[in-house]
Amino acid sequence: MFAPDDTIVAIATPPGRGGLGMVRISGPRAAAVAGALLHGRKSLEPRRATLMRVVARAGDAASAIDRVVATSFPGPGSYTGEDVVEICAHGSPVLLERIVSLACRSGARLANPGEFTLRAFLRGRVDLVQAEAVADLVDAVTPLQARVAFDQLEGTVTERIADLDRRLLDLTARLEASLDFPEEGYHFIETTELARGIGELSAGVRALLAGAAAGRLIREGCRVVVLGRPNVGKSSVFNRLLGSSRAIVNSVAGTTRDLVTETLDLEGLAVDLVDSAGVRATGDPVEAEGVSRARRAFDSATASLVVLDRAEPLAADDRDVLRETSASPRVVVVNKIDRPPAWSPADLPPGEGELVVEVSARTGRGMGRLRAELRRVLMGEAVPRRETPMVANIRHIGLLERAESALRAAAGAAERGAAEEFVLEDLQRARRALEELTGKRTPDDVLEHIFERFCIGK
């Protein structure tokens, strides 16, 4: 694990040039390190932005390298819970790296990924669920991802879990008290009350897990591959969904030979949309490799869009693609409805037209419905609501499932009239899962794994 008692420094803004860049210093010597770099008419005051210069000293000589705005945040009322100084400089990477280098020469060391947030966690500024939300908020690529992460950072999930933990602690404490005084005949909780309490706790955990599949999909995104025989308009559908001409469109069959992938914001859901080569039997080795890649992309996709050309009769290759994708989530896209029809969706084989959307990629007609149906296939009817905490992290889901399993075991033991010691053991198992979730008793290797995926400076 990281050393939590020295002073660290890092650039806290993204790589590259910008109007401004931030260098963050945190630790017991943050003020002293900053004092060695900064020079101004006024000294730093807590939480007051101060115009200063960063000065590089070499022996008795000193030269200013930038004009900056510095702010001091004394602990414990800072992001990390310890003394913090933030230096807002001009956003040249060379300049920011020079400031970091000067800070390291003055007694700081370069921070590891996630070390600022780890210190916030270790000092009780955030719990582990909120700390993970920081990384999710930084990584968000859609407004919905950012909203779910921010709700988690605000403590919506933490509050619900804390409430469950409090009630679970009350049950276990009363059960333990009954077991501690068997000779005296004290009984602090009746069997019916215990069973009711366990049932309510189990229902509370299940309520959190109810939206977990949708939450995970929002957090992690998904992959959708566009399939079909050559020249049915797959690339045109792909481009129209993206709102830009990303894939080459040509009347020559087989124009797309390799996979083209772009991120689609589907009402907040981050979708890796993949345009693929036309699926057909071919003797061209290059095209055959493209078809093979298309099939591999389908194997790893969450869902598919199977594009058919309504202006041309259904071909054997169309039927092959429909058959190959029939067992997986998909939307059948009937394209080119702006042209005279050669067939209708009613002509599709039984079971192949269960979800058909008719569109014109050329005019855009039907694309709104296609987006809506694709999102429904991916998310079901789940609609994230602010008043309902959404569990999105696979670690959280696994631990909640472990807690719910332990509560079910406790309920079963209570119903069978098992000894109270067995019921208590299951309840304690559920508590351990909840405490690992929030970080009250999380192994060091798990913490290291969580924080190492953070960016440096956060």
**Within-domain flag for 445:** no
| Helix/strand/coil (H/E/C) assignment for every residue in 77-133 | CCCCCCCEEEEEEEECHHHHHHHHHHHHHCCCEECCCCHHHHHHHHCCCCCHHHHHH
pLDDT at 53: 94
Residue 282 has pLDDT above 80, yes or no: no
pLDDT at 77: 92
Higher-confidence residue of 225 and 292: namely 225
Place of tokens 């092959």: 320
Contact 70, 36 (CB under 8 A): no
Of 76, 103, 124, which residue sits at a domain end? 124
Contact 394, 221 (CB under 8 A): no
Look up residue 365 and give its two tokens. 């007609």
Contact 227, 275 (CB under 8 A): no
Q: Provide the pLDDT confidence category of residue 106 given band limits of 50, 70 and 90.
A: very high
Domain boundaries, position 22: 8-124
pLDDT at 287: 56
Q: Are residues 373 and 396 in the same domain?
A: no
Q: Are residues 115 and 141 in the same domain?
A: no
Q: Worst-scoring range by mean pLDDT, 78-92, 107-121, 196-210, 376-390?
A: 376-390
Q: Are residues 395 and 355 in the same domain?
A: no
Q: Are residues 95 and 24 in the same domain?
A: yes
pLDDT at 311: 93
**Within-domain flag for 220:** no
Q: Are residues 196 and 235 in the same domain?
A: no
pLDDT at 250: 44
Q: Are residues 146 and 26 in the same domain?
A: no
- Rounded (5°) CA angle 114-440-7: 35
Q: Which amino acid is at 112?
A: N
**Within-domain flag for 219:** no
Scanning 154-233, the segments in alpha helix (DSSP H) are 156-180, 191-210, 212-220
pLDDT at 327: 87
Counted domains in the chain: 3
CB crowding 124-135: b at 16 or more within 10 Å, else e? ebbbbbbbbbbb
Burial of 239 (0-12, 13-18, 19+ CB in 10 A): buried
**Within-domain flag for 444:** no
Name the percent of the chain lying above pLDDT 90.
50
CB crowding 281-310: b at 16 or more within 10 Å, else e? ebeeeebeebbebbeebbeebbbbbbbbbb
Residue 248 has pLDDT above 50, yes or no: no
pLDDT at 165: 92
Q: Are residues 49 and 119 in the same domain?
A: yes
**Within-domain flag for 216:** no
Mean pLDDT confidence for 273-278: 83
Best mean pLDDT range from 87-101, 335-349, 444-458: 87-101
- The mean of the pLDDT values for the chain is 86
Tell me the pLDDT tens digit for each residue of 149-208. Answer: 999 998 889 999 999 999 999 888 888 776 766 555 555 667 778 888 899 999 999 999
**Within-domain flag for 129:** no
Residue 247 has pLDDT above 50, yes or no: no
Q: Are residues 56 and 17 in the same domain?
A: yes
Distance (Å, whole) CA 227 – CA 224: 10
> The domain spanning residue 203 has which CATH number?
1.20.120.430
> The domain spanning residue 108 has which CATH number?
3.30.1360.120
Of 328, 349, 379, which residue sits at a domain end? 379
Mean pLDDT confidence for 131-145: 90
pLDDT at 253: 46
Q: Are residues 200 and 249 in the same domain?
A: no
Q: Is the pTM of this model over 0.75?
A: yes
Tell me the pLDDT tens digit for each residue of 378-420. Answer: 987 655 555 568 899 999 999 999 999 999 999 888 888 777 7
> The domain spanning residue 323 has which CATH number?
3.40.50.300
Residue 322 has pLDDT above 50, yes or no: yes
Q: Are residues 298 and 394 in the same domain?
A: no
Of 94, 124, 154, which residue sits at a domain end? 124
Q: Provide the pLDDT confidence category of residue 246 given band limits of 50, 70 and 90.
A: low
**Within-domain flag for 453:** no
124 to 75, 103, 254, 290: CA distances (angstroms): 12, 27, 59, 53
Residue 243 has pLDDT above 50, yes or no: yes
pLDDT at 172: 87
Residue 249 has pLDDT above 50, yes or no: no
Q: Are residues 409 and 279 in the same domain?
A: no
Q: Are residues 375 and 400 in the same domain?
A: no
**Within-domain flag for 115:** yes
